[in-house]
Amino acid sequence: MSPRFDYTLDYAHLDLRAHPELYRVGVGEQGVLLVQPYKAELLPHWRFATPEAARASSETIYGMFLAYLGAGDFVGADMARKFLQMGFTRARRYANHKGGKKYAGPVPADKKGQSGAHGRPELPRTPEDPVKAESARIFKAKWDEAEADERYARLKKEHQARYG
């Protein structure tokens, strides 16, 4: 397992393209909305409200994933993969919970920006929203493609061997 994502870095002022040695894959989507310049490059394309938006978004982000791989930019490729994963998880959340709210109560201040429920109870699921469920399926297919890419797997292994 890779080292945990480092939430102590000053991501607002840190260019991880210039300093890939500071990047840790972490677990799941950790850091997806922090790591620059990738957040600024990927976020404007991330949409999941409708299957049409999800299809265009996932195809654009997957294209960016391939471009990062082509440039040998593992951090960019991993961030694009995380945006594809986040498209799936957020669309699933909205498919299962009207309004997208999964947990009761606020996130404790010391836990903001971290993944997980932090001890809060999960709200009851609502009947599945078929539109958001289809958006989730679209993102899941592209996320699976990214995860299965041999170049991605090789770059990930190299990055983790080199930087931890």
Distance CA 155, CA 53 (A): 30
pLDDT of 121 strictly over 70: yes
Query: Tens of pLDDT along 11-62?
Result: 999 999 999 999 999 998 999 999 999 999 999 999 999 999 999 999 999 9
Is it the case that residue 118 has pLDDT exceeding 80? no
Prediction pTM value: 0.88
Per cent of the chain over pLDDT 70 is: 92
pLDDT category of residue 117 using cuts at 50, 70 and 90? low
What is each CA distance from 30 to 81, 114, 123, 143, 152, in whole angstroms?
11, 7, 23, 15, 18
Q: Write down the pLDDT at residue 111.
A: 65
State what percent of residues in the chain have pLDDT above 90: 73
